[in-house]
Chains A and B, each alone.
Chain A
Amino acid sequence: MTTLLSMTRRNIKLFFHDKGLFFTSLITPLILLVLYVSFLGNVYKDSIMAFFPEGITVSERIVDSVAVGQLISSILSVSCVTVAFCSNMLMVQDKVTGAALDIAVTPVKRAYLSLSYYIATYVSTSIICITATLVCLAYANAMNSYIGFREAVLLLSDVLILAMLGTAVSSIINFFLSSQGQISAVGSMVSSTYGFVSGAYMPISQFSPVLQKIISLLPGTYGTSLMRNHAIASTLDVMEAEGIPTEIVEAIRDGFDLNIYFFGNRVGVGGMYAVLLLTVLLLIVIYVVINCTCKKVRK
């Protein structure tokens, strides 16, 4: 255990010593926030207004609050995975610098070594994503959103869970990489596709039925939906309290992926937690097993 802690400490120190890597990882979600606010704020508001038939009025604060919820849940769900890919470079860096060979000639257990990379990446990813979440919550507060303390805490816990998922996925993929170029290429691919396949850039309900079924097989989808629930549900409660018909509120839940369906069956929030946590556990086991199986490094 002391060996695991020592290796984890080494990996975390190496990450934070690379100021460029840390700030680049941190600035990515903040840039996303600025871009979303600048370019998609009105699009989101229009898409919300489309749910209200003529004759039904809704306050501007409610519309803004739903838009803010959609916006920050999109940014954070994508960031947890993309930031994990940015942060999870040490495993490959160690291969490039020769440190991996230096470690391979020691009797350290491969399981400890792989877990030390995982934990270090998780810690750095979480620190960056929690910082981004706090900025997003400050923005939501400034926009007079209905996101309260409870929702804020739930969103922070979602970020921690999704960071686990992002770290696990990136750890498995990066295990097979051996150069900085490969890592950059994979990072770019993930950044450009993950937002779509997890329903962060566009609600899944707008995809074709076949695509919806495929996307429902991916665990990241449930992470986005979980965040949508925690970022928007309180506003929907206010809507219902203000007398907006339940059918409209329910349509918004479906339209913005607060309700998510697995082959026609609605998955509740508890189910989303279960999918995410079980997937994380499974991926960590796979990651440790491949580390222990492919134990010889080639120079």
Chain B
Amino acid sequence: MKNIIEIQNLTKTYGSLTAVDNLSFKVKEGELFAFLGVNGAGKSTTINIMCSALAKDSGSVIINGNNIDTDSDKVKNDIGVVFQSSVLDKSLTVLDNLQSRGALYSLHGKELRQRIDEVARLLDFSDLLKRTVGKLSGGQRRRIDVARALLHKPKILILDEPTTGLDPQTRSLLWKVISNLQKSENMTVFLTTHYMEEAADADYVVILDGGKISADGTPYELKTKWARDTLTLYGVDTESVEGLGIPFERLGDGYKLYVSSPHETKTIVIENGFDDFELAKGKMDDVFLAVTGRELLGGDGK
């Protein structure tokens, strides 16, 4: 798989604040790439630079083989962006919004109308086309935001906290559509999110802190390196668990132990003859906490 995004030594400062600090990473074509970090970590700044909407101080950004410094129009045609909050015109109808935004990609007339109908069917909002955007619910508006980003059939879809504050049904619909597009169109998805369960499904994860990469890898690699597995033992007494010499905590009917590897789990279970147990891999929340020392709060708590 070729690299569709290549960022080398990217730096952006605002006065004395370094928002992005010598950042380098690559994204492979067709993958779901999760870009994580607390607020102010530099995620949105990086995205705005990638979209050519913000000037960088130094470094290079190559998108689908095009340099943003010399071929920004080509880069913009390859990218669709769903911003953190809806940026559509609230006093206009959904159709007006999609028509005016489509025109910015030189889509007009029948071609544009067909594409609007296509994304409306895809995201299930054909009945909302004549409705004013400002009168839609948060979930309905988010679907229109995604449709707007998909209008020109981008190769890369950038989702900047796309599901924050959405109901589970809308989140599920959005992810279903995005996953289908990723598979059918080989579309690359560049995701920032506060929901770690979404990041856990990514092909590759980069965790940003203070404008620098703190950790990166596949979710499995990150969990293996940064999070401990938990082993929960049932039907045992406290003395047996104390005898293991591993820190534990009482959890309802069982005992929860933090283990460093599957091998350690195997040894504990076999050597002690435990026959009722549960092994859980470390979570991405634990990874994030371990890497940044901070929790990533979703929704209103962010």
Contact = CB atoms under 8 A, between A and B. Distances in A.
B87 A6 contact: no
Interface in B65-103: 72-74, 76-77, 79, 81, 83, 85, 87-92, 96, 99-101, 103
A203 B79 CA distance: 57
B180 interface: no
Interface size class of B (residues with CB under 8 A): 20 to 34
A209 interface: no
Interface residues of A, number: 25
A101 interface: yes
B54 A106 contact: no
Interface in A95-110: 97-99, 101-108
Given A102-B87, A105-B76, A6 B53 contact: no
A99 B87 contact: yes
Contacts, number: 81
B48 A299 contact: yes
A106 B48 contact: no
Contact of B92 (A6, A17, A104): A17
Nearest to B78: A107
Interface in A1-53: 2-3, 6-7, 9-10, 13-14, 17-18
A296 B55 CA distance: 6
Contact of A106 (B88, B96, B101): B101
A296 B104 CA distance: 17
A210 interface: no
B137 interface: no
Contacts of A102: 81, 83, 87-88, 101, 148
B103 A105 contact: no
A298 interface: yes
A3 B54 contact: no
Nearest to B54: A296
A62 to B, nearest CB: 50
B105 A6 contact: no
Interface string A63-95: 000000000000000000000000000000000
A102 B83 CA distance: 8
Contacts of A97: 87, 89-90
A185 interface: no
Given A13-B96, A17-B92, A299-B44, A104 B53 contact: yes
Contacts of B106: 2-3, 107
A106 B105 CA distance: 7
A14 B90 CA distance: 9
Contact of A296 (B53, B91, B96): B53
B53 A17 contact: no
A108 B100 CA distance: 11
Most buried by A among B44, B53, B54, B88: B53
Contact of A6 (B52, B91, B99): B99
A200 B292 CA distance: 64
Contact of B53 (A9, A13, A299): A299
A57 to B, nearest CB: 59
B32 interface: no
Contacts of B100: 6-7, 9-10
Given A17-B91, A107-B73, A297-B54, A7 B96 contact: no
A9 B103 CA distance: 11
B51 interface: yes
Given A98-B87, A105-B79, A3 B92 contact: no
Contacts of A104: 51-53
B267 to A, nearest CB: 52
Nearest to B45: A299
B100 to A, nearest CB: 4
B130 interface: no
A81 to B, nearest CB: 26
B57 to A, nearest CB: 12
A279 B171 CA distance: 54
Contacts of B183: none
Contacts of B81: 102, 105
A10 B79 CA distance: 23
Contacts of A299: 44, 48, 53-54
B108 interface: yes
Contacts of B90: 97
B77 A107 contact: yes
Contacts of B87: 97-99, 101-102
A61 to B, nearest CB: 49
Contact of B89 (A2, A99, A297): A99
A292 to B, nearest CB: 13
Contacts of A106: 76, 101, 104-105
B73, B101, B104 interface centre (most CB from chain A within 10 Å): B104
A101 B79 CA distance: 14
B103 A3 contact: yes
A2 B92 contact: no
A84 to B, nearest CB: 21
Contacts of B73: 107
A144 to B, nearest CB: 44
The 3 closest A-B pairs by CB, nearest first: A6-B103, A98-B87, A10-B100
Interface of A: 2-3, 6-7, 9-10, 13-14, 17-18, 97-99, 101-108, 296-299
Given A14-B89, A98-B87, A101-B83, 11 more contacts: A2-B106, A9-B100, A18-B91, A99-B88, A102-B87, A105-B79, A107-B73, A107-B77, A297-B53, A297-B54, A298-B54
